[in-house]
């Protein structure tokens, strides 16, 4: 029977996704029909984004999976009407984008590029720049993105520490877990990268106490989620010099309100949630793969664990 795939991520996204999705479904020879409207009881799969009109999943009684176009699921995972399996996006292009964003900002801090970009005429004080193996970088979150970033940073030779919920073994990374592991990780982090999901267990993780554990003048790169950071504590740490600089891509409120102090703080770089975006061509393949698995009765890829919240 033809599987009905409801694209419920909005009309604008549909313009971008329609052709790549149809091609991806075709490539896997799937008997599936992509629609933007259908009686809920006829829908087999829902392609979802947080801005979706579909927020009550109760009438979708036949739906085998909700396929999120976003990697982060904090806006849907707690939806009490969602009883269907929820899959998040793990897209190779999104991963590559994140690797490039993080490596770019880590190298910027490592090489002290801002000093040269903002140098005044006559500012000629050559110092030997450190090499990557002399630079301690810590990554909080060693999932799809954290591990890809770690792998890329390890090719430069950075002295890498990482932290996850469970014990991990990642080549080139000293892995930590648990509260003691977090402290250990933070204490080494001359450059700290946060690639954690936003859950009850990670919200405000970077509070005043955690920021105080960093080596003085550490740099922060946060493309994870705004809620991981206590904004007021970060501003205080930046003002005191405990944190030397922060590059923030994600915020509690997005777009970041014009009056937010991050915009004008001399030690903050704001980027508008562009670290990594889901790309239609590669993401469509991931969606089609999951529909194929659903149709074959195979376990879905990138299934979200509701209990853990990610
Ligand atoms: P993922 O594969 O689910 O990995 C999450 C990692 O965080 C895992 O290593 C997990 O530990 C760890 N973790 C979760 N809760 C924890 C806790 N309480 N304590 C310690 N570690 C914890 O996710 P991902 O694909 O790498 O993505 C990470 C996040 O990046 C997303 O959730 C999203 O918020 C953000 N993101 C941002 C952008 C952007 O453009 N700015 C784009 C995509 C994603 P275990 O391995 O032990 O489970």
pLDDT digits (tens, 9 = 90+) for 64-83: 999 999 999 999 999 999 99
Whether residue 199 sits in one domain with residue 236: yes
Q: How far is the CA of 115 from the centre of ligand 1 (A)?
A: 32
Q: Does a structural domain hold residue 305?
A: no
Q: In which band, very low, low, confident or very high, does the pLDDT at 260 lie, cut at 50, 70 and 90?
A: very high
Domain that holds residue 289: 3-91+278-296
Ligand 1 site-directed mutation target among 178, 277, 310, most atoms within 8 Å of CB: 310
Neighbours of 77 (CB within 10 A): 21
Q: How far is the CA of 164 from the centre of ligand 1 (A)?
A: 9
Residue 21 pLDDT: 98
Residue 37 pLDDT: 97
Q: Does a structural domain hold residue 135?
A: yes
Q: In which band, very low, low, confident or very high, does the pLDDT at 196 lie, cut at 50, 70 and 90?
A: very high
Whether residue 110 sits in one domain with residue 12: no
Ligand 1 site-directed mutation target among 164, 202, 204, 308, most atoms within 8 Å of CB: 164
The CATH number that applies at residue 22 is 3.40.50.720
Mean residue pLDDT across the chain:
97
Q: What global pTM score does this model have?
A: 0.97
Q: Does a structural domain hold residue 260?
A: yes
- In whole angstroms, give the CA distance from residue 156 to residue 172: 11
Secondary structure of 64-133 in HEC code, one letter for each residue: CEEEECCCCCCCCCCCCCCCCCEECCCCHHHHHHHHHHHHHHHHHHHHCHHHHHCCCCCCCCCCCCCCHH
Return the active site residues. Answer: 225, 273
Ligand 1 contact via 65 beta carbon (within 6 Å)? no
Whether residue 117 sits in one domain with residue 74: no
Whether residue 257 sits in one domain with residue 160: yes
Q: Does a structural domain hold residue 307?
A: no
Q: How far is the CA of 194 from the centre of ligand 1 (A)?
A: 9
Whether residue 100 sits in one domain with residue 52: no
Q: In which band, very low, low, confident or very high, does the pLDDT at 211 lie, cut at 50, 70 and 90?
A: very high
Ligand 1 contact via 196 beta carbon (within 6 Å)? yes
- In whole angstroms, give the CA distance from residue 273 to residue 226: 10
Ligand 1 site-directed mutation target among 105, 150, 175, 195, most atoms within 8 Å of CB: 195
Q: How many domains does the chain have?
A: 2
Please report, rounded to a whole number, the percentage of residues in the chain having pLDDT higher than 70: 100
Whether residue 104 sits in one domain with residue 208: yes
269 in Cβ contact with 263 (< 8 Å): no
Q: How far is the CA of 197 from the centre of ligand 1 (A)?
A: 4
Whether residue 287 sits in one domain with residue 245: no
Q: In which band, very low, low, confident or very high, does the pLDDT at 180 lie, cut at 50, 70 and 90?
A: very high
Whether residue 51 sits in one domain with residue 177: no
């Amino acid at each position: 029977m033809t599987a009905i795939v409801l694209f419920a991520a909005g009309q604008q996204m549909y313009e971008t996704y329609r052709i790549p999705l149809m091609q991806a479904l075709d490539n896997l020879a799937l008997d599936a029909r992509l629609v933007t409207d259908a009686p809920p009881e006829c829908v087999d799969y829902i392609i979802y984004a947080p801005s979706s009109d579909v927020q009550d999943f109760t009438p979708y009684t036949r739906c085998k999976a909700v396929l999120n176009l976003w990697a982060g699921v904090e806006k849907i995972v707690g939806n009490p009407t969602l009883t269907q399996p929820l899959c998040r996006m793990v897209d190779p292009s999104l991963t590559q984008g994140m690797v490039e964003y993080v490596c770019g900002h880590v190298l910027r801090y490592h090489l002290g590029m801002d000093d040269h970009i903002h140098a005044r005429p006559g500012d000629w004080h050559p110092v030997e720049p450190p090499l990557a193996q002399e630079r301690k970088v810590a990554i909080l979150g060693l999932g799809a993105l954290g591990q890809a970033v770690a792998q890329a940073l390890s090719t430069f030779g950075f002295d890498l520490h990482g932290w996850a919920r469970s014990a991990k073994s990642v080549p080139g990374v000293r892995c930590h877990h648990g509260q003691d592991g977090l402290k250990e990780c933070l204490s080494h982090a001359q450059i700290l990268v946060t690639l954690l999901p936003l859950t009850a267990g990670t919200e405000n993780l970077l509070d005043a106490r955690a920021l105080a554990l960093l080596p003085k003048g550490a740099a922060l790169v946060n493309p994870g989620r705004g809620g991981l950071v206590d904004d007021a504590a970060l501003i205080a740490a930046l003002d005191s010099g405990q944190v030397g600089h922060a590059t923030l891509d994600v915020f509690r409120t997005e777009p970041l309100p014009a009056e937010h102090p991050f915009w004008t703080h001399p030690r903050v770089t704001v980027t508008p949630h562009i670290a990594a975006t889901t790309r239609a061509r590669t993401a469509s393949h991931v969606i089609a793969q999951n529909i194929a698995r659903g149709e074959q009765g195979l376990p879905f890829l990138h299934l979200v664990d509701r209990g853990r919240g990610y």
